């Protein structure tokens, strides 16, 4: 019986070993070799001693934070309102719909909208503001990145709110809590798990964005993703590229730990 159970674990074990553990091990291994193929810690030394890489890391984290914060600000009220609507599933479908379209296509669509000859600029000229440089600015980069990430934030929050039993809200109202108190003491804490997984699924990919930084940011926004691409494709310095990869993995683990489930301390269950 026990043998039989073990048998079912084999595919999962193989999958995890081949596609999760092996690549990570390879990246870590690769990061200890310099460009001449000698074992060394110099890649890490370069990383921590060069202002360029540290600044780039700061940039990546800062932009990822901004993208996550803006997405969250937009998504939470949206998810909440969605739950109040009559045809929830239809509205949800409309929000998920853009994720069916290829990322590159969406980015190119934004280039068409935001460029000098694009419709946004024509509109601004029409209402008298005059043409503005929209592409290749921080604002347009944040705007497009947020647009692309929004569905991934709305979905988990939507599910969390949908699971929230209305009786909690009613109870809170009956006991005299104001609207704000109900939200901040009851609704928000109970849907925090949705927010956490939303933050994870937006913050982590945002850390290593690189295509949008070039197409919309015009390479004026440089993140760690850009550096990795360059080290693998141009300088052929796979060691340094892997080192930055390791740093990114560490950053992601930290994010997971910070937003993950924590053991609830100081709360003992009164068993009767």
Q: What share of the chain is helix, strand, coil (3-state, %, to 5)?
A: 75, 0, 25
Q: What is the DSSP string of 150-164?
A: HHHHHHHHHHHHHHS
**Residue from 72, 135, 145, 148 binding other proteins (CB under 8 A):** 135
Site string for other proteins, 222-261 (x = CB under 8 A): x---xx--x--xxxxx--x---------------------
**Pick 87 or 116: Cβ nearer other proteins:** 116
| Distance, CA of 208 to CA of 226 (rounded, Å) | 8
Q: Rule CB under 8 A: choose which of 125, 170, 181, 219 binds other proteins.
A: 219
- The answer for residues whose C-beta is within 8 angstroms of residue 199's C-beta and 6 or more apart is 68, 72, 153, 255, 259
Two structure tokens written together for 199? 């933050």
φ, ψ dihedrals at 166, nearest 5°? -60, -20
30 binds other proteins (CB under 8 A): no
Whichever of 40 and 230 has its CB closer to other proteins, that residue is 230
Q: Which is nearer to other proteins, 157 or 224 (CB)?
A: 224
d(CA 90, CA 96) in angstroms, rounded, equals 10
Nearest to 244 by CA among 56, 94, 39, 38: 56
CB of 24 to other proteins, least distance (A): 22
Q: Which stretch binds other proteins (CB under 8 A): 68-76, 147-155, 187-195, 216-224?
A: 216-224
Q: Of the listed pieces 14-22, 76-84, 149-157, 217-225, which binds other proteins according to CB under 8 A?
A: 217-225
Total binding residues for other proteins by CB under 8 A? Answer: 29
- Measure the CA–CA gap between 150 and 76, rounded to whole angstroms: 10
**32 phi/psi in degrees, rounded to 5:** -95, 10
Residue 134 Cα distances to 64, 120, 127, 218, 245, angstroms: 20, 9, 16, 11, 32
Nearer residue to other proteins within complex by CB, 144 or 154 = 144
CB of 232 vs other proteins, minimal distance in Å = 9
Closest CB to other proteins among 77 and 218? 218
Check binding of 36 to other proteins (CB under 8 A): yes
Residues 138-177 binding other proteins (CB under 8 A) are: none
Q: Point out which residues bind other proteins (CB under 8 A).
A: 35-36, 50, 52, 55-56, 59, 111, 115-117, 133, 135-136, 214-215, 218-220, 222, 226-227, 230, 233-237, 240
């Amino acid at each position: 019986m026990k043998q039989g159970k073990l048998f079912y674990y084999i595919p999962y074990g193989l999958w995890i070993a081949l596609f999760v553990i092996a690549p990570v091990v390879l990246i870590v291994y690769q990061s200890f070799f310099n460009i001449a193929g000698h074992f060394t810690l110099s890649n890490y030394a370069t990383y921590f001693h060069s202002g360029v890489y540290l600044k780039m890391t700061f940039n990546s984290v800062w932009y990822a934070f901004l993208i996550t914060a803006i997405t969250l600000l937009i998504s939470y009220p949206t998810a909440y309102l969605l739950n109040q609507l009559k045809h929830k599933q239809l509205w949800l479908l409309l929000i998920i719909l853009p994720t069916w379209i290829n990322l590159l296509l969406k980015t190119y669509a934004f280039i068409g909208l935001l460029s000098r000859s694009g419709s946004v600029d024509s509109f601004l000229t029409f209402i008298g503001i005059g043409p503005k440089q929209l592409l290749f600015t921080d604002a347009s980069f944040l705007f497009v990145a947020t647009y692309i990430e929004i569905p991934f934030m709305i979905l988990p929050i939507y599910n969390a709110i949908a699971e929230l039993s209305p009786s909690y809200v009613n109870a809170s109202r009956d006991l005299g809590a104001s609207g704000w108190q109900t939200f901040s003491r009851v609704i928000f804490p109970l849907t925090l798990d949705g927010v956490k997984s939303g933050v994870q699924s937006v913050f982590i990919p945002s850390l290593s964005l690189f295509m949008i930084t070039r197409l919309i940011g015009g390479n004026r926004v440089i993140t760690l993703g850009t550096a990795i691409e360059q080290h693998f494709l141009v300088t052929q310095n796979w060691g340094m590229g892997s080192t930055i990869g390791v740093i990114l993995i560490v950053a992601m683990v930290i994010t997971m730990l910070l937003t993950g489930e924590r053991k609830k301390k100081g709360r003992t269950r009164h068993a009767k």
